[in-house]
Amino acid sequence: MTALGFAPENIGRVLCTHLHFDHVGWNTQKIGNEWLPTFPNARYLFGATEWKFRMDEEDHFDTGCREQAVLPILDAGLADLVESNHVINEEISLIPTPGHTPGHVSIHISSKGERAIITGDMFHHPCQMAKPGLLDIGDVEHDRAEQTRIKFMQDYADGPVLILGTHFATPTAGKIISDGDGYKFER
């Protein structure tokens, strides 16, 4: 990142769609025996609903996630707990997309007349657009995850919004297209 002009100390904001380790593990780095913020001058945005859920329940996939990648950020006073529909600025806002986790959000970007949505883990694979009931092992609320995927596709299919699937194989960007009674992802 530094070679591209984005030194860690120059990053001003870090946004986490949810608090699974593969989405927050880079928030910190181990220096000596301490987990310290990777971006020491950034504000880290965590969903308030997501944090409340994680306070009470350890993720069985991510042993130590809270202690290594989330609590050090809170302890450093760098975290902002935000609502699921938080507006970051006139171009970036959050969309509630619960199910994978109770406080999961996707990121809506609108700039220069173009729109895109980063899906986080709402979809793990494009085949979930054709079969939204295909559940991911990490989904905390399976039925809610399926319903969120269906509603999202109803809202954004056949439109101009570019969909960016966080875990999709390259290329990760495409559109949701109606396909008979269902949907498909078209790159």
Under 8 Å between Cβ of 15 and 52: no
Task: Give a yes or no: residue 87 inside a domain.
Answer: no
Same domain, 146 and 106: yes
Asked which of 38, 56, 82 is the last residue of a domain, the reply is 82
Q: How many domains is the chain partitioned into structurally?
A: 2
* pLDDT of residue 55 exceeding 90: no
**Which of 144 and 58 is assigned the larger pLDDT?**
144
Residue 136: per-residue pLDDT: 87
- pLDDT grade, residue 156 (50/70/90)? very high
Same domain, 21 and 96: no
* CATH number of the domain that residue 179 is part of: 3.60.15.10
Under 8 Å between Cβ of 62 and 21: yes
Interatomic CA distance for residues 101 and 103, integer angstroms: 6
- Domain of 102 in residue numbering reads as 92-186
Under 8 Å between Cβ of 24 and 42: no
Same domain, 96 and 182: yes
